[in-house]
Structure 1
Amino acid sequence: MDPVQIVQGDSPLVLGLPHTGTWVPEDIRAQLNAEGQLLRDTDWHIHQLYGGLIDGATMVRASFHRYVIDANRDPSGQSLYPGQTTTGLVPETTFDNVPIWAEAPDAAEVSHRVAQYHAPYHAALDAELARVKAIHGYAVLYDCHSIRSVIPWLFEGTLPDFNIGTDGGTTCAAQIEAACRDACAATGQSHVVNGRFRGGWTTRHYGRPGRGIHAIQMELAQSAYLETEDLPSEVDAEKIATLRPQLKAILTDILQAAEAAARPAPQLPRL
């Protein structure tokens, strides 16, 4: 199987999906223990949730599971959240701190997985951002994620429904962050900007608003669209019917803000 799946569009929007894949090569699956083989920490059904919401959107999706290697982590292995609990480039445990490997990969194996899986995903993402920027003069990377709403090992309490990450406002124009925040607020559901999840390596690596590439991460609480956050994690049709129009409105407002941010500033008349 190819490590990355690409659906090309002609709008400025690129949807990144690093954690929806469930493919685990057989040699790697054999190294996982029974808990690891459950693939519990998948961003379940996110590619279906966002599919078809915006005409012309490009989608770049990792086929491989995050237990193979996490495409939203720094390939050097540096932590996203120094001093905080998190999982690494190749996770050692679930989000509940339960070990997942019968035979954990060594440094050489991790380097091999970076080359075989992580690098092709990001090469594709980089190429698609460059392609749509060449068309429009700017690009918007919206990194699509979801996670269980209650995971005591990672965060206290219950996660808001919408978790917006811009690394403190550095990865996109201020108008884009504001548009996303306001659109989330308009849903009446809970939301936060740069809370526990302020954007992973993808958002931080590509988000260069001064160069015309804006990146924003959306971490959805899985309680907002799944029947249950326990396995099997199936979609709730009623929740989906509410959430998809909300996500479409969020993406539409982000794109409008990005277009406005790309317009040249008006020239003041000389006196």
Structure 2
Amino acid sequence: MTGEFELFEVREPQTQSIPFVYNSPHSGRRYPARFLDQSRLDGLAIRRSEDHYVEELFGAAPDFGAPLLLAHFPRAFVDVNREPYELDPRMFFDPVPSFANINSVRVAGGLGTIPRIVAENTEIYAKRLPVAEALERIETVYKPYHACLRKLIARTHARFGFGVLVDCHSMPGNIRIAGSGIRPDFIIGDRYGTSASAELSQAALEFLEGLGFVAVRNKPYAGGFITEHYGRPARGLHAVQIEVNRALYVDETTLAKRGDFGALAGSIAVFMQQMAEFVADYAGDTALAAE
């Protein structure tokens, strides 16, 4: 089913010189033929859940000395920013395993490990699936992806004594901050201070604001499974999620890049450089190395 293309890749720097790992788990846009046959959606509608071109926005990471892991498989096929077995029983014509988490908020919303919907509550499938197919996707896509991510994080931590995972995403252009009406350009998520040090998150906000963007922290996106699972500040492992407003760089109807796409990518490259310099300056600070 998934042998028709490379599932994911790591774009490595010539030498990893900074304690960062960049990850783009939702920007994949290679759709397995069988999956498309199972879907009731056309080729454009099924792409609504993608983090469009995020791996390109953060594509300079290797130039600064950090690896970039990116998915080629689409989020609608398997969502690696979930627990491994968040499964919706309504999607399958046979019972899900007893160990599956069927009661999570994400499952209830149709956005489990095997999503039931794409954006705007649009159902993906024309009919129910065999649960064996979901388990195969988890074994052949989800688990290898996380094994690769764990290896990159462990290598970084071993080499530098601490590490920073930046989990890169995009968000719909109509997102507003409740009670204020503010439309953020970027959201930094650190699971309300549990996945990364406050100093790191605050630095990210200040750098983005210094570049002229509206940046907020944790609301409405505080980080998903990846941020929560890999962020261990007490061990010197920090994980932040960064959401980029799609309206800044893509036409959300046609999914075509806007003319200022390159300028935004350039600003993000400056941000990455600033983050690298910030961590280098504080490499011996216990607030970062082991909070």
Deviation digits for residues 198-219 of structure 1, max 9, x if unmatched?
1111111111111121111111
Q: Does 1:195 align with 2:219?
A: yes
Q: TM-score, normalised by structure 2?
A: 0.81
CA distance in structure 2 between the partners assigned to 1:3 and 1:80 by the alignment: 27
Hey, what does 2:170 align to over in structure 1? 146
| 1:122 counterpart (146, 154, 160) | 146
What is the identity, as a one-letter code, of the residue corresponding to 2:236?
G
Question: Contact 2:110–2:117 (CA<8 Å) still a contact in 1?
Answer: no
Q: Displacement of 1:107 after TM fit?
A: 2.9
Deviation digits for residues 40-87 of structure 1, max 9, x if unmatched?
221111111111254212011111011111011111315775798562
Superposition map of 1:149-188 within 5 A: 149-150=173-174, 159-188=183-212
What is the identity, as a one-letter code, of the residue corresponding to 1:74?
E
CA distance in structure 2 between the partners assigned to 1:238 and 1:220 by the alignment: 14
Q: Does 1:38 align with 2:62?
A: no
Hey, what does 2:7 align to over in structure 1? 3
Hey, what does 2:57 align to over in structure 1? 49
CA distance in structure 2 between the partners assigned to 1:15 and 1:8 by the alignment: 10
Aligned residues: 261
CA distance in structure 1 between the partners assigned to 2:175 and 2:133 by the alignment: 29
Q: Does 1:229 align with 2:257?
A: no
CA distance in structure 2 between the partners assigned to 1:85 and 1:186 by the alignment: 36
DSSP-derived class of the 1:101 partner: coil
| 2:238 counterpart (214, 238, 244) | 214
Q: Displacement of 1:151 after TM fit?
A: 6.7
Q: Does 1:25 align with 2:32?
A: yes
Hey, what does 1:259 align to over in structure 2? 280
Q: Displacement of 1:146 after TM fit?
A: 0.8
Gap regions ≥5 residues in structure 2: 87-100, 287-291
CA distance in structure 2 between the partners assigned to 1:260 and 1:81 by the alignment: 40
Question: Contact 1:69–1:118 (CA<8 Å) still a contact in 2?
Answer: yes
Question: Contact 1:35–1:100 (CA<8 Å) still a contact in 2?
Answer: no
CA distance in structure 1 between the partners assigned to 2:123 and 2:106 by the alignment: 21
Question: Contact 1:35–1:99 (CA<8 Å) still a contact in 2?
Answer: no
| 2:69 counterpart (60, 70, 81) | 60
CA distance in structure 1 between the partners assigned to 2:8 and 2:52 by the alignment: 17
Question: Contact 2:22–2:167 (CA<8 Å) still a contact in 1?
Answer: yes
Hey, what does 1:268 align to over in structure 2? none
CA distance in structure 1 between the partners assigned to 2:157 and 2:29 by the alignment: 30
Gap regions ≥5 residues in structure 1: 266-271
CA distance in structure 1 between the partners assigned to 2:220 and 2:129 by the alignment: 28
- CA, structure 1 residues 158+32, in 2 after alignment: closer, same or farther (shift >3 Å)? farther
Question: Contact 2:56–2:265 (CA<8 Å) still a contact in 1?
Answer: no
CA distance in structure 1 between the partners assigned to 2:217 and 2:285 by the alignment: 27
Hey, what does 1:238 align to over in structure 2? 260
- CA, structure 1 residues 67+192, in 2 after alignment: closer, same or farther (shift >3 Å)? same
DSSP-derived class of the 1:40 partner: helix
Q: Does 1:14 align with 2:21?
A: yes
DSSP-derived class of the 2:118 partner: coil
CA distance in structure 2 between the partners assigned to 1:86 and 1:194 by the alignment: 22
Which of 137-146 and 185-194 deviates more?
Answer: 185-194
| 1:90 counterpart (114, 123, 136) | 114
| 1:204 counterpart (228, 235, 239) | 228
DSSP-derived class of the 2:80 partner: coil
Q: Displacement of 1:158 after TM fit?
A: 7.1
Question: Contact 1:162–1:192 (CA<8 Å) still a contact in 2?
Answer: yes
CA distance in structure 1 between the partners assigned to 2:149 and 2:127 by the alignment: 31
Q: Does 1:75 align with 2:98?
A: no
Which of 142-151 and 210-219 deviates more?
Answer: 142-151
> Once the two structures are aligned, what percentage of the paired residues are identical?
30
